[in-house]
């Protein structure tokens, strides 16, 4: 849900910025857990190269959702090589059911993440909307002094979902030590994928080719 204009909260110097399931307090920290449901991207050569790399990386991570693939490639040095400026958005302004924004005077958006089942999402989104309407009904001076906060999550999982995210991160983080054979195999596949990718020239692409390689929507 969108509650306020988010543009004043975006970073002017970032090429790619994205909301988080878990935010660790530093917008530069790639250990943050991004959520693909909300992102703001400047269209330039760096972001185009990044999205092409993200899209093509699905080949070495088959069966994973685009958000999971992002969590795997965000550590890759290729992003440094292309000069991508990536920032992670604070849950104080861009919250969700994983980490709700605690201050209704600051929140811009809330995402129904960490929630399983349509009925649970609808239930908690209705409560979220009720909370916002109650907040908006207050006089301006009471709004500023208000201690109101969200009553969600309720039916949506919270602690369990966060634990699941942290466990997934531990198991799938590129910084964990895999078996040597797997590590060598994945490194070789990544190098091959990069080599194939880097031979592409954006200037030489036809509109049809660009459409075929269009990035995933978030």
Q: Is 55 part of any domain?
A: yes
pLDDT digits (tens, 9 = 90+) for 91-138: 999 999 999 998 999 999 999 999 989 999 999 999 999 999 999 999
Question: What value, to the nearest 5°, has the Cα angle with vertex 5 and ends 3 and 10?
Answer: 120
Mark 118-143 as b/e (b = at least 16 C-beta within 10 Å). eebbebbbebbeebbeebeeeeeeee
Q: Is 193 part of any domain?
A: no
Q: Is 87 part of any domain?
A: yes
Q: Is 211 part of any domain?
A: no
Question: What value, to the nearest 5°, has the Cα angle with vertex 210 and ends 53 and 45?
Answer: 55
pLDDT digits (tens, 9 = 90+) for 145-179: 877 889 999 999 654 444 444 444 434 444 433 43
Q: Is 62 part of any domain?
A: yes
Q: Is 47 part of any domain?
A: yes
Contact 134, 95 (CB under 8 A): no
3-state secondary structure of 34: strand
Q: What is the pTM of this model?
A: 0.73
The count of domains in the chain is 1
Q: Is 3 part of any domain?
A: yes
Residues 6+ apart with CB under 8 A from 168: 68
Residue 197, classified by CB atoms within 10 Å of its CB into exposed (0-12), middle (13-18) or buried (19+), is middle
- What residue numbers bound the domain in which 108 lies? 1-177
pLDDT digits (tens, 9 = 90+) for 191-215: 554 454 444 433 433 333 333 333 3
Residues 6+ apart with CB under 8 A from 57: 69, 72, 73, 193
Q: Is 59 part of any domain?
A: yes
């Amino acid at each position: 849900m969108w509650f306020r204009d988010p543009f004043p909260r975006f970073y002017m110097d970032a090429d790619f910025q994205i909301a988080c399931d878990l935010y660790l307090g530093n917008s530069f920290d790639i250990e943050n857990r991004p959520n693909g449901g909300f992102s703001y991207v400047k269209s330039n050569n760096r972001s185009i190269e990044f999205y092409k790399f993200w899209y093509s990386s699905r080949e070495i991570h088959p069966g994973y959702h685009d958000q999971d693939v992002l969590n795997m490639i965000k550590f890759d040095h290729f992003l440094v090589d292309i000069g991508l400026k990536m920032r992670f958005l604070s849950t104080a302004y861009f919250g969700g059911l994983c980490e709700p924004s605690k201050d209704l005077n600051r929140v811009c958006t809330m995402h129904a993440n960490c929630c399983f089942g349509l009925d649970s999402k609808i239930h908690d989104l209705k409560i979220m909307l009720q909370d916002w309407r109650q907040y908006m009904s207050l006089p301006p001076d009471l709004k500023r002094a208000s201690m109101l906060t969200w009553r969600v999550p309720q039916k949506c999982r919270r602690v369990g979902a966060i634990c699941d995210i942290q466990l997934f991160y531990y198991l799938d983080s590129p910084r964990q030590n895999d078996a040597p054979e797997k590590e060598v195999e994945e490194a070789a596949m990544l190098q091959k994928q990069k080599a194939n990718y880097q031979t592409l020239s954006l200037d030489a692409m036809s509109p049809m080719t660009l459409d075929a390689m269009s990035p995933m929507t978030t």
